[in-house]
Structure 1
Amino acid sequence: MNAQTTKFLIDGPVGKIEIALDLPGTAPRGMVLVAHPHPLFGGTMDNKVAQTLARTFVQLGYAVYRSNFRGVGQTEGEHDHGIGERDDLMAVIEHMRAQPGQGEWPLVLAGFSFGTAVLSHVAVRLREAGVSIERMVLVGTATSRWEVAPVPENTLVIHGELDETVELTSVFEWARPQELPIVVIPGAEHFLHRKLHILKRIIVDAWR
């Protein structure tokens, strides 16, 4: 993605997990885990929305980890409908937090589509384990296709007005009981074609 990107493999619950690490030009202020869209429909950690999330958080000063889900790239195993994928992301987070000096870094979770559903359950596990999350960013939250767990009240939820994959009404139904605001991008569909600059702006503004 940039000159500061490195790729490597770690051991996961069912085999190797492929990870890309993007570093800012200065000492990181925290770390971010980005989760990509559905692997059976072409989703990878190099998806353009996932890459936009990574680039944005690198610009904001974070070390950004992206990992491929099972069966994608060099990540071993087979697609597990979002269940085993939770275990894999927990393994990635354990690796992130085990690096020298990173155990106390603020942790941000950012996901797109299928990745939002997986991350929502990972967040529940982290809270149960006493691991704090600075914030979550969910884009194209897959509420009509997967069970998305309730999320922290400061979660930034971003959705396209014309999303044909996950209708906006479904996201409102999920968010309403949580009293969770949704940022809607006018005229945007699921993959935010020609709207990625708006996605970046929303996140940067939210971090100011």
Structure 2
Amino acid sequence: MPEVIFAGPEGRLEGRYQPAKKKTAPIALILHPHPRFGGTMNNQIVYRLFYMFQERGFTTLRFNFRGVGRSQGYFDHGVGELSDAASALDWVQSLHPDSRGVWIAGFSFGAWIGMQLLMRRPEVEGFMSIAPQPNLYDFSFLAPCPSSGLIIAGDQDKVAPADAVQGLVDKLKAQKGIVIDHAVVPGANHFFESKTDELIETCSHYLDMRLAKIAAAV
């Protein structure tokens, strides 16, 4: 798993990158939780999502937003972090011009950034939004949401209450042309303490289902 440094909007960005063996392999970009509350690319959930995609043959990248770890710059309340994510995707796509698609997975703050990024990138074919916070962040930009994906949260999440997440899911499910899967991890709080295995298992099953459908269509 090579350590990488690549150019971002405010200087260098630090990441971990694993290229796939196939030139046409899809790309997965993993986005970490809030930088002001200890979020980094080494977050356990981000780390395990990285390997989940890697094990399924994806070219995979996770990185630190500006001001985190060795990434330069300063926290920018989501505006700059969205630019960071776009730069990260640009960088990995420049190395894999034959890649046949992109997935974005984000956790908490990273879920908000990831959903904004997929609105700007038509090549995104799937997403995983883990513990999004529609009670705190504005998701009205998803009009309409351009990709099918998974929204997953814990039923004991006090940071992103279940009714707020359900409201976001209901809004997106009303849109035509996409399919939004909604999963709830019983007993899990916002950080999935002692429930990370269940979270990753649910995400893995969803990804396998989607990949099987893509393979069947081909």
TM (norm. structure 1) is 0.89
CA distance in 2 between partners of 1:154 and 1:119 (Å): 13
- Cα deviations by residue, 1:110-158 (Å, 9 ceiling, x for unpaired): 000000111111111113xxxx112001100121121234234521111
Aligned to 1:183: 183
One-letter amino acid of the counterpart of residue 172, structure 2: Q
Q: CA deviation at 1:170?
A: 0.7
- Cα deviations by residue, 1:50-73 (Å, 9 ceiling, x for unpaired): 112112111222121001011100
CA distance in 2 between partners of 1:87 and 1:32 (Å): 17
Q: Contact 2:154/2:185 (CA < 8 Å) preserved in 1?
A: yes
CA distance in 1 between partners of 2:133 and 2:187 (Å): 18
Q: Describe how 1:35-184 pairs up with structure 2 within 5 A.
A: 35-99=31-95, 101-127=96-122, 132-148=123-139, 149-150=141-142, 151-179=145-173, 180-184=180-184
Aligned to 2:198: 198
- Cα deviations by residue, 1:26-49 (Å, 9 ceiling, x for unpaired): 537321000000000000000011
Q: Contact 1:30/1:63 (CA < 8 Å) preserved in 2?
A: yes
CA distance in 1 between partners of 2:120 and 2:148 (Å): 17
Q: CA deviation at 1:195?
A: 1.4
Unaligned runs of 5+ in 2: 174-179, 210-218
- Cα deviations by residue, 1:5-26 (Å, 9 ceiling, x for unpaired): 11111111111111111356x5
Matched, 1:32 2:28: yes
Calculate the aligned-residue CA RMSD, in Å: 1.6
CA distance in 1 between partners of 2:121 and 2:108 (Å): 20
Q: CA deviation at 1:196?
A: 1.4
Once superposed, which parts of structure 1, at least 4 consecutive aligned residues long, lie more than 4 Å away? none
SS at match of 1:124: helix
SS at match of 2:121: helix
Unaligned runs of 5+ in 1: none
TM (norm. structure 2) is 0.85
CA distance in 2 between partners of 1:45 and 1:72 (Å): 9
Instruction: Name which of structure 1's ranges 38-47 and 9-18 shifts more when overlaid on structure 2.
Output: 9-18
Q: CA deviation at 1:162?
A: 0.5
How many residues are paired up?
198
CA distance in 2 between partners of 1:156 and 1:181 (Å): 5
CA distance in 2 between partners of 1:197 and 1:30 (Å): 24
CA distance in 1 between partners of 2:187 and 2:159 (Å): 14
Q: Contact 2:27/2:99 (CA < 8 Å) preserved in 1?
A: no
